[in-house]
Chain A
Amino acid sequence: MRVPLPKSVARWTALAALALTAAACADDKPLNTFEPAGPAADRIDGFMFYIWPIMGIIFVLVIGGGIWISVKNRVKPEDYDPEDLPPQTHGNTRLEVAWTILPAVLLAGISVPMVAQIWDLEERNDACEPGEVGEGCDGLDIMVIGQQWWWEYRYDADGDGFFQDANGDGVVDGRDQELPLEIALDPDDVVTATELVIPADQQIDLLLTSRDVIHSYWIPRLNGKRDTVPGRLHTWSVEAFEPGKYTGWCTEYCGLSHARMRMSTIALPQDEFDAWLDNQKQLAEVPEVGTDAYEGRELFAQQCASCHVINDNSADFDPGDDVAFTIFDYGENFEAALTSKAAPNLTHFATRSSFAGGIFGVYLGPGTDPNDDALDVSQYLTLAEQASAADSRDDFRVNSAQLKRWIANAPSQKAMDPDDGRGMTAFPQLTDEQLDNLVAYLATLD
């Protein structure tokens, strides 16, 4: 029996094609370079707007021409006659000179605006040395430090232009910039991780470096990428037209968990950003004695503080304790920076929406998937507040389960190599209750 397949095949093909097109065009591509949301990305996209058609025309002419010539001049094997030769053309110098010169002219034509574009973007990206004052350089400077496998941000909150006294001579000056590890901490600055918070509609100059291997900072909708190279400081910039969340991904292969080194840039309206920065400058509050969070803090001091830093306002903590609840200068020593003390600063952990290199959400609820850009940034300042009101908002709460999994056995959640000093170790000794207490403490860090 013959089944009349063709009709249904055609129908299915059409459906599949439709589905493909729909899926391809669906607006769910947080890293799409074709949807610029900042001036730099917009210029690149705008320039390429003229290049793609040129490439398309050449594509059609050459490929189409090649296929057309092949089909047109085809001799079927049965028609092959060794005596019947085509005209033996050896070349045509004029023609060849023409198609040497024409592409050259075309490329030269592209080159001129391209060079202008390069310098235009360089001016944007290399506009201001850190600390430079003057036209267009008064904005906030942020140092971006890549490391296996998360991003650290240092805000030059006191505006002195420097992030550290790297050579330890007591003066923060130009000499510090020449050192390989300009990543020691200026006590007045703010340190965060994973999410770069910036004011919208304002150019933010970045200073890129790395603590270990080469990474690359790329927020596709805002700007191109630039490598963060250990021992080098690279200037770069980000600017977003509108408030929003713009996701990114480390784009230079950086070892084991390269695929799980993600980040985002959160652009806030200026006033919200100011509020955010003010809050970040505050020390963390010590939880009330007797609460779960307080227990968690005690535990944190024992278990976590050898790598993580929380700057809090503890009066009852004796600085003589081996508990380093003070500002830790983990750029001081390269080996130490490499193997320990180089974990994310958790002082305001609860103000972030993602953790572990941007792969897990700190919170659960709408818009909290760290992999997309659905976050409602107007709520960004109140993440912890919303979550703490968990009774009324069951749909928005701290992602306790994931946080506990992470603390208990981080290498099972993200490929890391703690034995070689890269990444977070597992804590199999922690009981479930202890994990709950730790999470409770972390949730208070807003």
Chain B
Amino acid sequence: MSDVAIPVEKGPVGAHDIRPGESAHDGGHEEHHASLGLSNMKLAMWLFLGSECLLFGALISTYLLSKANFITELLAGNPDVIETLPPEIAAEFIAAGSVEPIYDIPFTSASSFILLMSSLTMVLAHKSTHEGDIRNQRVWLAATAVLGSTFIAGQVYEFTVFFREGITYNGNLFGSAFYTLTGFHGVHVTGGILMLVALLIMSFRGKLQRDRAETVELVGLYWHFVDIVWVLIFTIVYLIP
């Protein structure tokens, strides 16, 4: 079959203009048109995040159910449950009818705010990259990583406090569910921080120029997703009694 001229379906122009002669970032293909107008990587990232929604959905459901069962048992006076808590904590929980007394809402609000701010710096990092402003790109990437690390430090502190107060991972349902849910989120944030550090290293080695703006955007997508999940977790775990 002869190589006839074929009208190539061009999707809406995205952030990824593939220049002639350069392969797309799809693992070494010849240049492929993206039928959807999204690059492969971005599409894959969206799909991955969709999958992550179900992961966190299941974890949050597990937490809600476990905490509810924990409170029910506590209020019913199940001795097996009560003995997993220090007496004063158990008394506080029973008096409040919830696990609310253990939380330090102002502290967690502050660390949540920090994490939310990191989304802003992430946007700025992407913007700088897009504009080719490598200096600011590094600043904002570093800022995002630092803010994220601060959040993680806050979480480590919070875990330590909870543990000292007597909420253990294997003690009761609440402990297991709380540490698992927030821990999973923490691991995701940590993963994001590592990605940011990798981006910084790339940037300092001169490999994160304007043409790689999509790389920053992808990390940004992930980062925003993790932030949004935290907003959800913060609301569900900490704010709603």
Q: Is A169 interfacial (CB 8 A cutoff)?
A: yes
Interface residues in A141-184 by Cβ distance below 8 A to B read 167-169, 175, 178-180
Question: Majority SS of interface residues in chain B?
Answer: helix
The proximity string for B residues 135-177 relative to A, scoring 1 for CB distances below 8 Å and 0 otherwise, is 0000000000000000000000000000000000000000000
With a cutoff of 8 Å between Cβ atoms, the chain B residues found around residue A47 in the complex are none
Chain B residue with minimal CB distance to A177? B76
The proximity string for B residues 67-95 relative to A, scoring 1 for CB distances below 8 Å and 0 otherwise, is 00000110011111000000000000000
Q: Which of B72, B76, B78, B80 has the most CB of A within 10 A?
A: B76
Chain B residue with minimal CB distance to A168? B79
The proximity string for A residues 265-301 relative to B, scoring 1 for CB distances below 8 Å and 0 otherwise, is 0000000000000000000000000000000000000
Least Cβ distance of A329 to chain B in Å? Answer: 14
User: Could you tell me the distance between the alpha carbons of A179 and B80 in the complex, rounded to whole angstroms?
Assistant: 10
User: Could you tell me the distance between the alpha carbons of A179 and B76 in the complex, rounded to whole angstroms?
Assistant: 7
Question: Are the CB atoms of A167 and B76 closer together than 8 Å?
Answer: yes
Chain B residue with minimal CB distance to A231? B69
Question: Are the CB atoms of B73 and A169 closer together than 8 Å?
Answer: no
Residue tally, chain B, CB below 8 Å to A: 7
Least Cβ distance of B73 to chain A in Å? Answer: 7
With a cutoff of 8 Å between Cβ atoms, the chain B residues found around residue A175 in the complex are 76-77
Q: Is A119 interfacial (CB 8 A cutoff)?
A: no
User: Could you tell me the distance between the alpha carbons of A323 and B78 in the complex, rounded to whole angstroms?
Assistant: 29
Question: Are the CB atoms of A167 and B73 closer together than 8 Å?
Answer: no
The proximity string for B residues 189-225 relative to A, scoring 1 for CB distances below 8 Å and 0 otherwise, is 0000000000000000000000000000000000000
Question: Are the CB atoms of A180 and B78 closer together than 8 Å?
Answer: yes
With a cutoff of 8 Å between Cβ atoms, the chain A residues found around residue B78 in the complex are 167, 179-180
Least Cβ distance of B172 to chain A in Å? Answer: 13
With a cutoff of 8 Å between Cβ atoms, the chain B residues found around residue A167 in the complex are 76-79
User: Could you tell me the distance between the alpha carbons of A175 and B73 in the complex, rounded to whole angstroms?
Assistant: 10
User: Could you tell me the distance between the alpha carbons of A167 and B79 in the complex, rounded to whole angstroms?
Assistant: 8
Least Cβ distance of B82 to chain A in Å? Answer: 10
Question: Are the CB atoms of B79 and A178 closer together than 8 Å?
Answer: no
Partner among A168, A169, A178, A334 whose Cβ is within 8 Å of the Cβ of B72: A178
Least Cβ distance of A335 to chain B in Å? Answer: 9
Chain A residue with minimal CB distance to B69? A231
With a cutoff of 8 Å between Cβ atoms, the chain B residues found around residue A180 in the complex are 73, 78
Question: Are the CB atoms of B76 and A334 closer together than 8 Å?
Answer: no
User: Could you tell me the distance between the alpha carbons of A349 and B9 in the complex, rounded to whole angstroms?
Assistant: 82
User: Could you tell me the distance between the alpha carbons of A278 and B76 in the complex, rounded to whole angstroms?
Assistant: 35
Least Cβ distance of A326 to chain B in Å? Answer: 22
Least Cβ distance of B187 to chain A in Å? Answer: 30
With a cutoff of 8 Å between Cβ atoms, the chain B residues found around residue A334 in the complex are 80
Least Cβ distance of B128 to chain A in Å? Answer: 54
Least Cβ distance of A166 to chain B in Å? Answer: 9
User: Could you tell me the distance between the alpha carbons of A175 and B79 in the complex, rounded to whole angstroms?
Assistant: 13
User: Could you tell me the distance between the alpha carbons of A93 and B138 in the complex, rounded to whole angstroms?
Assistant: 59
User: Could you tell me the distance between the alpha carbons of A310 and B152 in the complex, rounded to whole angstroms?
Assistant: 60
Chain A residue with minimal CB distance to B80? A334
Q: Which residues of B contact A (CB under 8 A)?
A: 72-73, 76-80
List 14 additional contacts besides A175-B77, A178-B73, A180-B73; criterion CB under 8 Å.
Answer: A167-B76, A167-B77, A167-B78, A167-B79, A168-B79, A169-B77, A175-B76, A178-B72, A178-B76, A179-B73, A179-B76, A179-B78, A180-B78, A334-B80
| Chain A to chain B: the 8 pairs with minimum beta-carbon distance, closest first | A178-B76, A167-B77, A179-B76, A175-B76, A179-B78, A334-B80, A178-B72, A167-B76
| Selected A-B contacts with CB under 8 Å, 17 pairs | A167-B76, A167-B77, A167-B78, A167-B79, A168-B79, A169-B77, A175-B76, A175-B77, A178-B72, A178-B73, A178-B76, A179-B73, A179-B76, A179-B78, A180-B73, A180-B78, A334-B80
